[in-house]
Amino acid sequence: MCGDCVEKEYPNRGNTCLENGSFLLNFTGCAVCSKRDFMLITNKSFKEEDGEEIVTYDHLCKNCHHVVARHEYTFSIMDEFQEYTMLCLLCGKAEDTISILPDDPRQMTLLF
């Protein structure tokens, strides 16, 4: 992974979790070949471990195949919620939790 290729390492992306793709706004250009172009996605793997889906892949410079970052995305269901996480030098870090119920219990108001 190369901190010289990104504007900010692991930027906070709030609840934006990417299962695929690249956050090109954070890519300043390849530190090896000095070109700023699209990224290649290689070594993509999908595995399921203890009910958690894990997707990993590498971001590579399109021109010289320099490895810019390693991307990890996870998805799991905990109780009544879907949980997503992302961790990547290029794309950033993010977490999100979404209710699987029609009405989100966290949004319910107490009635007296």
Whole-number pLDDT of residue 13: 94
Domain count, the chain: 1
Is residue 105 domain-resident?
A: no
For position 50, what pLDDT does the model report?
86
Judged against a pLDDT cut of 80, whether residue 104 lies above it is answered with no
For residue 60, the enclosing domain spans 3-99
Amino acid, res. 80: E
* Percent of the chain topping pLDDT 90: 71
Mean pLDDT of 69-93: 94
Averaged over 84-111, what is the pLDDT?
Answer: 82
Q: Give yes or no for residue 111 having a pLDDT over 80.
A: no
Q: The domain spanning residue 92 has which CATH number?
A: 2.60.40.4240
For residues 31 and 54, what is the distance between their CA atoms, to the nearest angstrom? 29
Residue 21 lies in a domain: yes
Strand locations in 62-109 (E): 67-78, 81-88, 92-99
Instruction: Report if residue 104 sits inside a domain.
Output: no
Do the domain assignments include residue 54? yes
3-state secondary structure of 53: strand
User: CA-to-CA distance for 56 and 19, rounded, in angstroms?
Assistant: 9
Q: Could you tell me if residue 70 is inside a domain? A: yes
Angle, CA 13 vertex, CA 106 and CA 35 arms, to 5°: 160
Residue 1: pLDDT band (50, 70, 90) is confident
Looking at the domain assignment, is residue 106 inside a domain?
A: no
